[in-house]
Chain A
Amino acid sequence: MPRLLLFIPLTLFIALSFFLWKGLSIDPRELPSALIDKPFPEFEVAALLQPERILTKADFIGSPVLVNVWATWCPSCRQEHEQLLRIAQENKIAIIGLNYKDERAAAMNWLQELGNPYVFNIYDESGMLGLDLGVYGAPETYLLDAQGLIRYRHVGVVTGKTWQELQVMIQNLEGNP
């Protein structure tokens, strides 16, 4: 029996190494949203392209949507724009833009130049809706279910791989609403 006890340090070492090794593949910037499974915050903010139109949460309740936080000052947003356009073309889910702390003219110009994948854009100039949502930088993408609950938050560029993962989640949402 005391012989077996001698293996305790080795076992502890292996366990520690496992945790450290696992830690290498964790991205510390990927924080889960504090709002997962909670409702999207209430808001009343003007639209980007039609400044006189006031958008509220009621504008996107009823079916799952993606809410994409973007800004013209954000280089990664340009990087993911192509992918967003592809997603919009596939027509499986509506993408709503949340234009975050941006200039209206620059943002309108961006959509004209690069194409517009968004059904509509919320113009969050002060960043207060972003703050309520727990946004800490662009780009971020949220998946909302038909009731307007936040189901998933993706931080960073939406890639083809992200889209595949999102599609699985969207199918699950539609399967058991």
Chain B
Amino acid sequence: MLSCHPTLDMLTDYSSGSLSLAHALAVSTHLDQCAHCREQVKRLNMLGAELLSKQADTAPQSQMSALKSSVLARITAQSEPTSEQATAPAPSSALSDTLRHIPATLRRYIPEGYDKLKWMSLTPSFKLATLSNESSGEQIALLYIKAGAAMPYHTHTGDEITLVLSGAFSDEEGLYRAGDFIRRGDEDHHQPRVTKDADCICLIVLDSPIEFTGRFSRFFNPIMRYFHPSRLAG
């Protein structure tokens, strides 16, 4: 049983489509691993469906006919079979061992497994691989931390979402396992430590660059800033 989930507000924004895509990606990755939140989102989607079906458009009949003809023309024009035509995603049982352990939402960003990503080593026991830099300034990345190691002490301006993909870590507030979804604000000042039994991989979504606050790790701040998209934006 997972102990950390997105809030109901966040699931509602996910279902209604107003969450930023970076945050929505983290929520969707959590849904891959959490039956309870999947049920919750299903119900929220039902509500969206009911509200949609109560909508009435006032467009004149002629405009709707023109639109319909255009849809029919477009489907006939599609060469058959088109590459755009949807195929069902492969069931996880058909996937290689490498990919099966990656949540379905993330597979398109990690097509050849964790090992083939471009990892940047920040310390001998701590690596980071960027999956996407959003033009809004959000950064989506994976963290890889060796068993038993501590992540450098850090704070951040803006929110940070951490989703455990494998292994486990703990901080002052508790123990977090695969599937756990943790959202922290900028006032948090924490030092996660990975449990000794296994390496830990986490998905992180940052609103703004991470800051390392230890005496030694101040060294990393310029590096992290260098790789953060907001530097490029402005």
Partners in one complex: no
Interface of B with A (CB < 8 Å)?
Answer: none
